[in-house]
Chains A and B, each alone.
Chain A
């Protein structure tokens, strides 16, 4: 009887990292592996296996509890190579990896547009109207010089982010969208 899978469909496509590395000579050290999920970006993203440490097989090998592997990789994300080796463990269970054949490695790694564009985002923005009024009143009560209060914007940051807040007198390249902002498309 054929196996019939029940459940919601997923966006992952491929194998877990151990399924790939466990079948390769020397655990695939030196080979290239890519995430299918990252192929949505125009720039290439891939990892080069540098060191592999195996971990024991889980007692029950179910789709919810698959074998992981601890690897150290040279990570390239969107055409930008990480300066240090990256340890991967927690996300190795994801069935989203694919091995790049040796003959395709050169093509896969080719980055036609390696120029990385950083967005410079504004450092501050104005307060919401009511809060602004409250702050101005507070300042008046304290007898301070009333100037337009500015809210410091908090941005998420990680090593892969391609934007940063403006520093000093730098002119931001992108304006901050106050309130709802402007719709992306004209149809909406």
Chain B
């Protein structure tokens, strides 16, 4: 319920625990924000020394001395009491034994973990091995398949070339081919008219072709 704004502190009365914020009272620390240095006008101001009456001084001194002695004595009492108790409670053998026991306990837990992890690891390694073997087999199969297809394609190609080679002009057939060529001259010249008719031959006399639109 307490909120602090810049240098203002919100003080809350009992009524303020209802949500009525009109009960909030704001008060400031002083005239000056606390983080600012001493004002120029106050820089050389020297506060007067407190004038304490002798009787008051003596009485306050007595009370202070008395209080300090009592508190010091009580502190000493508690220190002695609890430090001696602690010393009695501390047994070096027990301490070492507890350390040893703790170490054994930790080792047992660690061994258990190692055992579990070993089983997991073996399972995982076996699985990975099987997977890689399968993969290798699959790849081998695929490669054989590709090789087979390649061989088949090559076979087809060879057969086609052999088929074609029947028409090749060999030295034996050379004379016949020349004869044939001489007897069947081919004229590739042609002409077009405005209607798109094609007239084959250089002399433009014979065949007329219709061009399909």
Contact = CB atoms under 8 A, between A and B. Distances in A.
B74 A151 contact: yes
A9 B46 CA distance: 9
A184 interface: yes
A151 B44 contact: no
A8 B69 CA distance: 31
Given A6-B46, A9-B49, A181 B73 contact: no
Interface residues on A, range: 20 to 34
Interface in B62-101: 62-63, 66, 69, 72-77
Given A152-B77, A188-B55, A181 B66 contact: yes
A158 B64 CA distance: 19
Contacts of A155: 69
A161 B44 CA distance: 41
B43 to A, nearest CB: 9
Interface in B15-62: 44, 46-47, 49, 55-56, 58-59, 62
Contacts of A26: none
The bracket for how many chain B residues form the interface is: 10 to 19
A126 B72 CA distance: 14
Chain B interface main SS type: helix
Contact of A152 (B44, B49, B73): B73
A107 to B, nearest CB: 28
Interface string A130-172: 0100000000000000000001111100000000000000000
Contact of A154 (B44, B59, B69): B69
A184 B73 contact: no
Contacts of A125: 73
Nearest to A180: B63
Given A8-B46, A184-B58, A184-B59, A152 B66 contact: no
B68 to A, nearest CB: 9
B198 to A, nearest CB: 119
Contacts of B62: 177, 181, 183-184
A187 interface: yes
A4 B122 CA distance: 92
Given A8-B46, A180-B66, A185 B58 contact: yes
A28 to B, nearest CB: 33
Nearest to B71: A154
B73 A153 contact: yes
A177 B64 CA distance: 12
A6 B44 contact: yes
Contacts of A185: 55, 58-59
Contacts of A6: 44, 46
Nearest to A185: B55
A96 B1 CA distance: 54
Nearest to A121: B69
6 contacts: A7-B46, A128-B74, A151-B74, A184-B55, A184-B62, A185-B55
A7 B46 CA distance: 6
Contacts of A180: 63, 66
Contacts of B47: 8
A128 B71 CA distance: 11
Contacts of A152: 73, 76-77
A88 B73 CA distance: 32
Contacts of B66: 177, 180-181
In the A-B complex, the 6 residue pairs with the closest CB atoms:
A154-B76, A154-B72, A153-B73, A154-B73, A185-B55, A184-B58
